[in-house]
Structure 1
């Protein structure tokens, strides 16, 4: 029998794991190769007593994120103090590396060019000192041509319109309203901040403050030049009111329904003129701005100025500067900028947020599952155990957190570390699994086990996440009405208004609670049993007809299916039962391939996709010995020369 599979091997030049295809003649050979690769990886990648570096993975992030940071620092006058010339060189390398062949930038490194990312990266290049006719491979002229050929910057999506208005490259009258009064709505209103997905809520909180202030940064000579470069007509002749709903077709992932446009028009024509005139500007608008700023300060303090993510981080930092340029809040924000920076082989990028806890948990679980001796992995387990224990959130958000639209967080784990403060269900479940596994091992080797009371808080938190359909959400309990998605103000993203239940979160929680019940039968056994029954039903109900599960937090069906099966097996569903048997058909299907899709009609290629297409058109098979041909080796050269 011949099996074709993919295994991971360390590729020291890039300091990463490389996927390589092999011809395998038996299951035993496959297992032997996996363990050999795993042992090499452990010795090459894990921290040692001489170096207690955390286990983290390289992030792949939207290509708009770094630009926001540059804009904020440029406006506040701190660009040179935060980013040295060497930082700038790496930032430019990252931007150049991921420019597409048509001159634009996509939302991600393999995405087709979009107005949103192309305009933001073009401005970023100009702020960093690249001239309008300069840049590697004529980066600026090519990008500007793409922008003007696709309708100019007037067709940038709403988030881009907001940033351009802040920079002085757009007029606030060309944006749809984001009234800060939203944060004062009474509880009987159908659309409330408490019903929003926390990430979206946290984006529009500082956005509404900046909109309410109609804040515009310093109009420098560079800004005046950009006004001439980004538009097809003179800046002072643009009819801003007519471009509010304009968006390049390449950016439209979620077309706005008519009811939403009517809502924006009503706010624009009726509400905003009232709220910006006396006496309402004094009685309502100023109070709304103060309420909004109080929310911003609350979130900043409870996340130690990391905030929930990078988009919010930059906006909250700018809002603090607008309120008080010399204030302590802005200075605290500056101190947490390094938390988001990541240097890799393609340059300096900005993370969405850190993934230290998440990466550490899976590394620990892999080590525990291996047959490696404790002499080989003991220190790594102890180090990881210590980090996991120290990263647990020990308290709820401060004060009356429910009035600030926050959920309990005591006993949780975040995606990164304790400072972040934002509880997530799957991170809590995976960290709980690690603590439970390590509690059964020799404490002299892996460290003292975590206190049982802290585990109880984690279990209570997981139980609080379950929805009526049995599934678990990510950050906060789901439950808002689905029709609220009709009010999604973005064009680039879908399904971001409310919280949803996920297969991944549900599966992780099942696995953690099953293990907890086995080791701690004294705590909420009945509730846990009921939880597992309903959660298993959710997994079964969300299986696709071909036997797979959709993964929202990974790419994509293999990831979701791995967790879907893991949850059902942990819950006691036998492998011969219909759900798992049906799934094995999917996993063994030779026609289950991965495809990269671009917007219809787009002929743009990315440096990554060109290499990807070249290699996926061949039948690559590599022997287990000798000189390897590698997709990643050529990809690395492509990225280096892009």
Structure 2
């Protein structure tokens, strides 16, 4: 809660000076200029997207799996890994988080492959920490699959995922169409690798036997994480299936392998890679090797290039991104700059915006094939991907943000883009009124009980944050398209049901309740829901209750692990991006003149850096809650700017 003693010096000064001399205006101008400087000549913005040390460690593991070792690059990635180790020897899933055994095992193995002595202090600390957690056998499924490929654990240590899954009918309890896009793209090439029980080349024959408390071949508790009756039943069926695997006819295995190969080859996605996400791309690359594609094969060469495009290489350090986010970054940067330009009417800014919007319009996916068509076969295309290209997998969330930016341009140039986007987004609504990120009605929750799904992220169900952004866009199109009202009403009703008792909304794709509440309140504002609505007032009260004494807001990723009301919206420090989100949410709820908003704006002005941006060290979003987190390097750039610009518009009036 904001204390009365919070300073308002910057704002007090701002409103007693001419407009062009105010600290508020200067803060906006500096951030705007720096953001424009980072625009690519083609019109887009793209910022680094950083994950935990799992991804760079996996890059080193891939090099040794394939025996394609770039020693110079390996040395730089190793430097990155060493620099991110915690004092207790572990590696966390997000900045400041607790150590994670799977991430730590992969980082340790990668460093050992890179040549680090196991008796070096950092390696000794990591090893002791792993052993204290029960050893490498306690690592998650994906880590154990990696260890099986490197012959460090027996194949019985991993779930039975035969390639014959490709032949199952759609009515079967497990089918590719029943899991999320990211699960499909990761799993299909993995079926090939696991069915062939592949062996890493591992030219130096380096192992990690020292990380086990029980010899791997004698370990009997690889699946101790399976607790539910349904999970144990599926595990028993898996064991029966493993015993029967030698009886599978060769012709059936060949047919299934060919179907898996054809499936992922059709979705290779050029230099943007399978699913445009690192784990799927690596699995596809290794599966092509397993299937006998020679190094000179053009598809294999492009698959490797797609992986290497994810690298961020510095002078002494390097890491690998899980994917890239240009559509998302450009859409949100455009919304922030459009808010700036409502006041300034700057021709140079308007030109930059139009360049970015035209680039976005050119990236719309219209008639390309897509897995979403399984549930919506008659729906015309009209969405956008998250990455530069991901033709099979447009993202509903990105599509709503991009379409909103195009609509705000108020030019007939984008009418066809908007027509297609409106139809596609409206058509992707799930039966409960909400929106998932990529799929419709992806709610087969029983699948989260299968042993393979220990990460709990096999599905893509509707979420409040994505639904809020769809409401934001569709509400703005209602005057053109009155037929959207039933779609909009169902989405709003879904959001009302999803509101937490304390007034917040869960943020599936951003940390966390502050992010979710921001998304929904912007949607409610666009839909014209009165500011006096009880759901809005509860959200406002919650946001004010979690404001920090310095005027800012901050929430950490622990709220994905402990969702108790006393933990929501709280962090040991304020962050610029979450302060920006909270301010935007409060202003959408009609609170622009409140002391809490003034204090939040003052916090952003006081904490702006010399380069015009802000600096948040924390991770900003989950890839998958509780198991995989991301740091969007653009969030501390465009969200604070957007908030300051809207505040200026609310205080001074829109030109």
TM-score range, shorter chain: 0.7 to 0.9
Specify which of 471, 482, 485 is matched with residue 525 of structure 1: 482
* Residue of structure 2 in register with 1:100 after alignment: 86
Q: 1:634 to 1:421 in 2, by over 3 A?
A: closer
SS of the residue aligned with 2:452? coil
Cα distance in 2 for partners of 1:35, 1:413 equals 34
* Residue of structure 2 in register with 1:616 after alignment: none
Cα distance in 1 for partners of 2:115, 2:65 equals 15
Cα distance in 2 for partners of 1:403, 1:633 equals 43
SS of the residue aligned with 1:60? strand
* Residue of structure 2 in register with 1:229 after alignment: 210
Specify which of 78, 94, 99 is matched with residue 113 of structure 1: 99
SS of the residue aligned with 2:319? strand
Cα distance in 2 for partners of 1:35, 1:566 equals 24
Q: Does 1:340 align with 2:310?
A: yes
Specify which of 344, 348, 361 is matched with residue 372 of structure 1: 344
Q: 1:73 to 1:557 in 2, by over 3 A?
A: same
Q: CA deviation at 1:328?
A: 2.9
Cα distance in 2 for partners of 1:425, 1:365 equals 17
Specify which of 464, 473, 476 is matched with residue 436 of structure 2: 473
Gaps of 5+ in 1: 7-20, 248-254, 441-447, 601-608, 614-619, 637-642
CA displacement 1:586-622 (0-9 Å, x = unmatched): 222256763564999xxxxxxxx99969xxxxxx998
Contact 2:496/2:535 (8 A) holds in 1 = yes
SS of the residue aligned with 1:394? coil
Specify which of 319, 325, 336 is matched with residue 349 of structure 1: 319
Q: 1:44 to 1:155 in 2, by over 3 A?
A: same
Contact 2:160/2:241 (8 A) holds in 1 = no
CA displacement 1:347-384 (0-9 Å, x = unmatched): 43222221111111111111111123423413421331
Q: 1:505 to 1:401 in 2, by over 3 A?
A: closer
Gaps of 5+ in 2: 549-553, 562-569, 575-599, 619-655
Number of residues paired by the alignment?
A: 572
Cα distance in 2 for partners of 1:345, 1:467 equals 47
Contact 2:385/2:394 (8 A) holds in 1 = yes
* Residue of structure 2 in register with 1:12 after alignment: none
Alignment of 1:279-428 (within 5 A): 280-301=248-269, 305-326=273-294, 327-343=297-313, 347-370=317-340, 371-397=343-369, 410-419=381-390, 421-428=392-399
SS of the residue aligned with 2:198? coil
Q: CA deviation at 1:531?
A: 1.0
CA displacement 1:199-237 (0-9 Å, x = unmatched): 1222222222111111111253342xx2443334556xx
CA displacement 1:89-119 (0-9 Å, x = unmatched): 4312321222111111122232211220111
Specify which of 459, 483, 487 is matched with residue 498 of structure 1: 459
* Residue of structure 1 in register with 2:141 after alignment: 158
CA displacement 1:121-148 (0-9 Å, x = unmatched): 01111222222233xxx22221122223
Cα distance in 2 for partners of 1:49, 1:260 equals 49
Contact 1:199/1:308 (8 A) holds in 2 = no
* Residue of structure 2 in register with 1:148 after alignment: 131
SS of the residue aligned with 2:275? coil
Q: Does 1:571 align with 2:542?
A: no
RMSD (Å) for aligned C-alpha atoms? 3.9
Q: CA deviation at 1:628?
A: 8.7
Cα distance in 2 for partners of 1:166, 1:219 equals 10
Q: 1:541 to 1:626 in 2, by over 3 A?
A: closer
Contact 2:91/2:100 (8 A) holds in 1 = yes
> Which moves more between the two structures, 193-202 or 374-383?
374-383
Contact 1:411/1:458 (8 A) holds in 2 = yes
Cα distance in 2 for partners of 1:147, 1:548 equals 37
Q: Does 1:433 align with 2:401?
A: no
Cα distance in 2 for partners of 1:563, 1:435 equals 18
Q: CA deviation at 1:553?
A: 0.9
* Residue of structure 2 in register with 1:245 after alignment: 223
Q: 1:52 to 1:345 in 2, by over 3 A?
A: farther
Q: Does 1:39 align with 2:63?
A: no
Cα distance in 2 for partners of 1:499, 1:635 equals 28
Cα distance in 2 for partners of 1:190, 1:431 equals 36
